[in-house]
Amino acid sequence: MENKYNCKIKVPAILGPTASGKTSLALFICNELKLEIISCDSRQIYKYLDIGTAKPTKEEQQKVKHWMIDIITPDKKYSAYEYSIQALNIIKTKNVQNNRVLICGGTGLYFNSLSKGIGPQVPPDEQIRKNLKEIVEKYGKERIYNMLAEIDTETASKSHPSNLHRNIRALEVYYKTGIPLSQQKRMASSPKEIDFFVIKLFPPRDILYDRINKRVDKMIRYGLFEEFLNIRKLGYNKDSPGLLSVGYKELFNVENGKLSLKEATEKIKQNTRNLAKRQITWFKHQVKGIEINYIDNAEKKILDLLKEYLKI
């Protein structure tokens, strides 16, 4: 699908950690500039996970068209590669229709796969994964990390022993292809027909953490645990990728009586703060863009930046 204007497609992006104000800002911008939103969130892709993912409300989605929300059920896995393919197709289709889009979210891996491209795809190998998981059970996560460090120092330097899924995947890629994941990524190519303009929202840490705590309390009041139980009634369980998300995985221990809802709420707050910290680190080091210390009254500044960029 060719760019009808024979020039680069301009795509603004508002990125940042959870609870940084991305959604409300994106809605304001898109209402003002008549843009549609492509979500860049690895949890909002799941159907039924509404409260715990802070998904835009039905009313908000009616005011501004949203893409990449509610696209799969919680039992399905979904890769950054799949995201990049679908999001790229939406961008190109909207361009042909003379419509503009804005990317909004906090999943850095999704955005990088879209903006920088992703290397050759290596299908999963269950036998390799099984063997590696047996090593974990016998020797612990540290052994897997050390194995990765021996064959792919670059990938290991950007990871941690606790990132077990990521480390196993990197080893799986190497054992199947003989090529380290870091080298595979360098084989990726970015979409040459698209220009991304990135704004990164970084509220002060104390303000961000306070927002997170208050938002989790609000989620509980609005029925997060009841939503979780309804999802469980549909047959989804601990093995469902969607329910491995922060805000849901902690509730299994409430369901089985190991934690009170109050205790789980505090655990969700802690895990969400840790998630936000990781997101900030990722965006600071892995994504180029304009950093904005976003608290209040920054909407006009950002709107003016995007008007200038889009020549509106």
Please give the pLDDT value at position 296: 62
Q: Which residue carries 């196993």 as its tokens?
A: 168
pLDDT tens for residues 181-219? 888 877 777 888 999 999 999 999 999 999 999 999 999
Percent of the chain with pLDDT over 70: 96
CA angle 207/212/213 to nearest 5° reads 100
What's the rounded mean pLDDT across residues 63-82? 95
In the predicted model, what is the mean pLDDT of the chain? 93
Q: Which residue carries 């492509």 as its tokens?
A: 38
First to last CA, the chain: 25
| Integer Cα distance of 307 and 223 in angstroms | 39
Least confident segment among 5-14, 54-63, 118-127: 118-127
pLDDT tens for residues 233-248? 999 999 999 999 999 9
| Integer Cα distance of 95 and 7 in angstroms | 11
Please give the pLDDT value at position 5: 41
Q: Does position 145 have pLDDT exceeding 60, yes or no?
A: yes
Q: 9: which residues sit within 8 A by CB, 6+ positions away?
A: 3, 91, 92, 95, 193, 194, 195
The Cβ of residue 276 has, within 10 Å, a number of other Cβ atoms equal to 23
Q: What CATH architecture is 126-186?
A: Orthogonal Bundle (1.10)
Q: Does position 1 have pLDDT exceeding 60, yes or no?
A: no
What's the rounded mean pLDDT across residues 62-74? 97
Bridge partners for 13 per DSSP = 103, 198
pLDDT tens for residues 264-287? 999 999 999 999 999 999 999 999
Q: How confident is the model at residue 120 (pLDDT cuts 50, 70, 90)?
A: low
Read out DSSP for 272-297? HHHHHHHHHHHHHHH--SEEE--SSS
| Integer Cα distance of 63 and 60 in angstroms | 5
Q: Would you identify the CATH topology of the domain 9-118+188-310? A: Rossmann fold (3.40.50)
| Integer Cα distance of 41 and 15 in angstroms | 10
Q: Does position 310 have pLDDT exceeding 70, yes or no?
A: yes
Q: Does position 4 have pLDDT exceeding 50, yes or no?
A: no
Query: How far is residue 240 from each of residues 99, 249, 264, 275, measured CA to CA in Å?
Result: 36, 10, 19, 20
Q: Output the pTM of the full model.
A: 0.81
Spell out the domain ranges in the chain: 9-118+188-310, 126-186
Please give the pLDDT value at position 106: 97
Please give the pLDDT value at position 196: 97
